[in-house]
C-alpha cells in the first residue's frame, strides 16, 4: 500500500513537472506553429493592422462617444449604433448598429472593464449559438483567465441543463487594445441560453448581495431576494406567473427547513439542484449561494436550478477574495457546511447567504442524489479536466501574456499551476467523499 502511494506521488510530480515545462515552452512552440500555419489568417489580420496571437479578434468602433466617457460613466448607460468586426480563421465579419454597455458589480470598478454587447438580431458568434445579447468578461480578478471556462467544462461534464460555453477573444475598442476577454451569451430566456419556449416560462436570480440595488426584489419564505431576469408572456399576466413561481419556491424553502423531502421533490427538480451543488461546491465558489444563483421554471413544471454562472473568485482564487476566511479554500472542506468562513458563525444570522442548499444538504435523500450524480458523471474524470486546462493554456498563452503586459499582470504560469494543484486535491477529496458506495460518515 505504501509503495502504491509513493508511486502515485511520483506520477503526480512527473505530471506537474511536464506541465510546467510545457507552459514554459508553449510561447515558443505556439509562435512557430502559428507562423507556419497562419497563412491567409495572418495576412488578413496584418492587412487590418491587428496582431495574430492565435485567437479571434473583436474590434469595436464607437459611434459619437469616446471609450474614456464610457469607462468613466455608469455601467447601465447604453451606447447604440456602433460598428463591430470579428476576425476568425482568415475571415472578417461585419456587424452594424451594435449596442455597447458596461456590466458587472465589483468588476466594473476595475481598470480593465467588462462589457455587454447587443445586436439588432440574433447572431451566432464563433459557433456558440444565436443570441442578441453577449457579455465580454474581462477576467480582471482571475490571474489564470480560465476559471469560468473550467467551471463551464465541469458543468458540461456533469450535465447541467442550459450550460453556457464561451470563447476567448482579443478586444480592441477604437483602436485601443483592451486585452484578453471571455465571450459568452448573456443569461436570459433565449435559444442559446435558457431555452424556455412555452408560455409562462420564468427565469429568476437569487441575489442577496445586491438586494434592491437595481431591480425589484421578491422576498421569499427565508426572507431572501429573488430578482426577475426574464419571462415568457403571451398574454398580460406576468404578475400572476411570478406569484405562482414564488408560491412554489416558498414551498420548497419551507419543506427543506422542515426536512420534508417528499414535498420538496414535488416542487423542485432534485437532480438540477444536486448538479448545481456539485459544480459550485467542487469549485468552492464564494458567490454560489449569494448572487448569480439562477432558478427557472418552464410551463408550470418543477422549479430547476441553473445555469451556473460567475466563477471569477472560485477555485481557490485567494489573491482577490480578501474578505473570505482562508478556511473557505481548504480543498478538504465542504463550503456549504463552513458558513463561518463567510464571516458569520451562524447561517441564520447571515442575510447575505441563502439557506436553501444548506438545508438541502441536511437531507439524507438529497445527499444520496448528489453522490449518485458524482459517481455517474464526475468520478474518474480528473485527468480529462486537466487535459482541457492544458489545452486552453496553449490556446490563450500568447494573448494572456499580451494582456499581462497591458495590465501589468505577470504571474499567469504560476497561477495556473497553483490552480491545477488545488484541483487535484479537491478531486481527491470528492472521490473520497462521494466516490465510494457509502458516503463517509461526517464528511458532509
pLDDT band at 37 (very low <50, low <70, confident <90, very high): very low
For residue 218, give the C-alpha cell: 421578491
pLDDT attached to residue 160: 85
pLDDT above 70: residue 432: yes
pTM of the model: 0.86
Tell me what pLDDT residue 402 has: 96
Angle between helices 382-407 and 147-158 (to 10 degrees): 160
Q: For 136, which DSSP code?
A: E
Mean pLDDT of the chain: 83
**Confidence label for 295 from pLDDT (cuts 50, 70 and 90):** very high
**Cβ contacts of 366 within 8 Å, gap of 6 or more:** 261, 264, 270, 273, 274, 360
44-48, 249-253, 271-275: which range is least confident on average?
44-48
Which residues, in sequence order, are bridge partners of residue 370?
A: none
Q: What whole-number distance in Å separates Cα of residue 293 and Cα of residue 221?
A: 16
Q: Peptide bond preceding 352: is omega within 30 degrees of 0, i.e. cis? A: no
Q: Are 398 and 170 in contact (CB under 8 A)?
A: no
Higher pLDDT, 333 or 395: 395
Lowest-confidence pick of 18-22, 174-178, 287-291, 437-441: 437-441
Instruction: Tell me the percentage of the chain whose pLDDT exceeds 90.
Output: 56
Question: Could you tell me if 201 and 232 are in contact, meaning their C-beta atoms sit under 8 angstroms apart?
Answer: yes
Q: Which range has the worst mean pLDDT, 47-51, 294-298, 417-421?
A: 47-51
Looking at the DSSP bridge assignments, the partners of residue 297 are 202
- Report pLDDT for 82: 98
- Report the alpha-carbon distance of residue 412 to residue 144 in Å, rounded: 6
Q: Is the pLDDT of residue 210 over 70?
A: no
Amino acid at each position: 500500500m505504501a509503495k502504491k502511494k509513493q508511486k502515485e506521488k511520483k506520477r503526480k510530480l512527473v505530471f506537474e513537472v511536464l506541465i510546467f515545462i510545457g507552459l514554459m515552452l508553449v510561447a515558443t512552440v505556439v509562435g512557430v506553429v502559428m507562423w507556419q500555419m497562419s497563412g491567409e489568417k495572418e495576412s488578413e489580420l496584418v492587412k487590418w493592422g491587428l496582431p495574430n496571437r492565435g485567437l479571434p479578434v473583436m474590434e469595436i468602433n464607437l459611434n459619437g462617444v469616446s471609450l474614456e466617457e464610457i469607462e468613466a460613466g455608469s455601467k447601465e448607460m447604453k451606447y447604440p449604433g456602433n460598428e463591430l468586426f470579428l476576425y476568425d480563421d482568415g475571415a472578417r465579419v461585419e456587424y452594424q448598429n451594435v449596442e455597447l454597455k458596461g456590466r458587472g458589480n465589483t468588476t466594473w470598478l476595475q481598470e480593465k472593464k467588462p462589457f455587454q454587447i447587443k445586436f439588432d438580431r440574433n447572431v451566432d458568434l464563433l459557433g456558440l449559438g444565436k443570441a442578441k445579447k453577449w457579455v465580454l468578461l474581462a477576467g480582471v480578478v482571475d490571474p489564470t483567465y480560465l476559471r469560468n471556462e473550467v467551471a463551464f467544462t465541469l458543468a458540461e461534464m456533469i450535465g447541467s441543463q442550459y450550460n453556457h460555453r464561451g470563447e476567448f477573444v482579443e478586444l480592441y475598442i477604437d483602436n485601443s487594445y483592451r486585452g484578453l476577454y471571455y465571450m459568452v451569451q448573456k443569461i436570459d430566456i433565449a435559444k442559446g441560453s435558457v431555452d424556455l419556449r412555452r408560455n409562462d416560462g420564468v427565469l429568476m436570480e437569487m441575489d442577496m448581495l445586491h438586494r434592491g440595488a437595481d431591480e425589484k426584489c421578491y422576498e421569499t419564505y427565508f426572507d431572501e431576494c429573488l430578482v426577475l431576469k426574464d419571462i415568457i408572456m403571451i398574454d398580460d399576466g406576468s404578475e400572476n406567473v411570478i406569484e405562482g413561481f414564488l408560491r412554489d419556491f416558498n414551498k420548497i424553502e419551507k419543506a427543506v427547513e422542515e426536512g420534508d423531502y417528499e414535498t420538496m421533490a414535488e416542487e423542485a427538480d432534485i437532480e438540477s439542484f444536486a448538479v448545481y451543488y456539485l459544480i459550485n461546491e467542487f469549485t468552492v465558489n464564494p458567490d454560489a449561494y449569494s448572487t448569480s444563483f439562477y432558478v427557472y421554471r418552464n410551463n408550470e413544471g418543477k422549479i430547476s436550478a441553473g445555469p451556473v454562472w460567475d466563477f471569477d473568485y472560485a477555485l481557490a482564487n485567494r489573491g482577490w477574495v480578501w474578505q473570505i476566511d482562508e478556511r473557505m479554500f481548504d480543498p478538504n472542506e465542504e463550503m456549504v457546511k463552513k458558513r463561518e468562513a463567510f464571516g458569520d458563525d451562524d447561517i441564520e444570522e447571515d442575510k447575505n447567504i441563502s439557506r436553501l442548499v444548506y438545508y438541502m444538504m441536511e437531507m439524507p435523500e438529497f445527499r444520496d442524489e448528489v453522490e449518485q450524480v458524482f459517481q455517474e458523471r464526475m468520478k474518474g474524470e480528473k485527468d480529462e479536466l486537466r487535459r482541457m486546462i492544458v489545452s486552453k493554456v496553449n490556446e490563450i498563452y500568447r494573448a494572456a501574456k499580451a494582456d499581462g503586459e497591458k495590465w501589468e499582470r505577470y504571474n499567469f504560469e504560476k497561477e495556473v499551476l497553483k490552480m491545477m494543484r488545488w484541483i487535484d486535491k479537491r478531486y481527491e477529496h470528492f472521490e473520497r467523499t462521494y466516490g465510494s458506495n457509502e458516503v463517509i460518515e461526517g464528511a458532509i
